[in-house]
Amino acid sequence: MTVESDFLTLGIETSCDETSVAILRGEHHVLINSVYSQVDLHAKYGGVVPEVASRNHVLKLPFLVQEAMRTLGLQLKELSLIAATYGPGLVGPLLVGLTHGKGLAFGLGVPFIGVNHLEGHVFAHRIAHPEAEPPLMALVVSGGHTSLVDVPAYGNYQLVGMTVDDAAGEALDKIGKMMGIGYPAGAEIDRLATLGDPKTVHFPRPMIGSPGFDFSFSGLKTSVVYHLRKNPREKQQDIAASVLASVVDILTKKSIEAARRFHRKRLIVTGGVAANSHLRKALALAGADRGIEVLFPSLSLCTDNAAMIAAVGAFRHLRLGQSHPLSLRPDPSLSLGQAIEA
């Protein structure tokens, strides 16, 4: 057997409210990818409470590691590398996963890699489509991030555009709250939009015609507030469809144009909002029209998960020879560009 086929990476992801543990063989083969969601715990607050998230990571993370090893019939001493998210994210949750990962690495005497969560989303594509190599344009779109990133090669990133205010997923959650939809609202808005008429209300498309590739969603959110005040009996389905039409238009136009401008024939879409069925359909159609291949990971790899963290760690250790000191600290505001130096 080759070195890579014997190489086992334990990935840990705790940047927000999902506790996730994965074990990866080599660089692509996911043996297990367990995710414990805290959605029900935070729903009553209408958003993630960092202290609540941190305490639940402390409770669930050791159990998930033990359960993953037991399920696969492995022992901790068989692990080759520990990879844990160190940013960006909420500092408390980050600290829980990072500390647990470093403790395991120290106790087992194996290398440790701190992983940039945003690079993890890019590597969700690598797990799902290992044959679809860079160069490519990446749209990372989630509750906390909306960014366009040019990827000439894995480990080499150029930020092309980002949100100047709310992330797309964050805006959908806030609009959902206005509509009386529970947290998180993205999946329910997607479902309702399928039943509604997107032409009911023409909500604004902020910055859709701007020359750059930055995004803005706060204006859309404000427009929805005023519309709901004036039209309290508007059907939820029609509001959802009209809101989603705006978000999808913005993301589609900016992403396809960025790929075209940077001469990329491949666009990958990752992050929680990449699971949205309307966005998937619109980007696939727009890409086909412009000769750009548009690829999405499976739904399980769109949301925060440890498989993508393990994939980054394995790549950086096996291909780039990197490892990190156990003094590495969490970095809540870490940018994707810093992944180059990680």
Please give the mean pLDDT across all residues of the chain: 93
Range(s) of the domain holding residue 106: 3-122+302-340
pLDDT grade for 144, boundaries at 50, 70 and 90: confident
Helix intervals (H) in 109-233 = 117-128, 168-179, 186-195, 218-230
Is residue 129 a part of any domain in this protein?
Answer: no
Residue 342 is predicted with a pLDDT of 42
Token pair in block for residue 313 = 């760690």
pLDDT tens for residues 275-295?
999 999 999 999 999 999 999
Residue 1 is predicted with a pLDDT of 35
201 backbone φψ class: left, alpha, beta (φ>0; ψ -120 to 50): beta
Rounded distance, CA 137 to CA 77, Å? 39
Question: 79 and 174: one domain?
Answer: no
Rounded to an integer, the average pLDDT of 188-196 is 96
Residue 156 is predicted with a pLDDT of 95
Is residue 175 a part of any domain in this protein?
Answer: yes
Token pair in block for residue 12 = 């840990």
Cα 128 to chain centroid, rounded: 14
Question: 267 and 217: one domain?
Answer: yes
pTM of the model: 0.93
Question: 85 and 176: one domain?
Answer: no
Residues of the chain with pLDDT > 90, as a percent, come to 85
Rounded distance, CA 140 to CA 268, Å? 8
Question: 153 and 264: one domain?
Answer: yes
Rounded to an integer, the average pLDDT of 55-60 is 90
Question: 18 and 54: one domain?
Answer: yes
Is the distance from CB of 14 to CB of 112 less than 8 angstroms? no
pLDDT tens for residues 59-93?
999 999 999 999 999 999 999 999 999 999 999 99
Torsion of CA 51, 52, 54, 55, to 10 degrees: 110
pLDDT tens for residues 305-316?
999 999 999 999
Is residue 127 a part of any domain in this protein?
Answer: no
Question: 230 and 178: one domain?
Answer: yes
Is residue 128 a part of any domain in this protein?
Answer: no
- CATH assignment of the domain containing 31: 3.30.420.40
Decide: helix, strand or coil at residue 129: coil
Question: 326 and 287: one domain?
Answer: no
Question: Letter for the amino acid at 52?
Answer: V
Asked if pLDDT for residue 2 goes beyond 60, the answer is: no
Asked if pLDDT for residue 159 goes beyond 70, the answer is: yes
Asked if pLDDT for residue 321 goes beyond 60, the answer is: yes
Residue 51 is predicted with a pLDDT of 78
127 vs 37, more confident: 127
How many domains are there within the chain?
A: 2
Rounded to an integer, the average pLDDT of 3-17 is 88
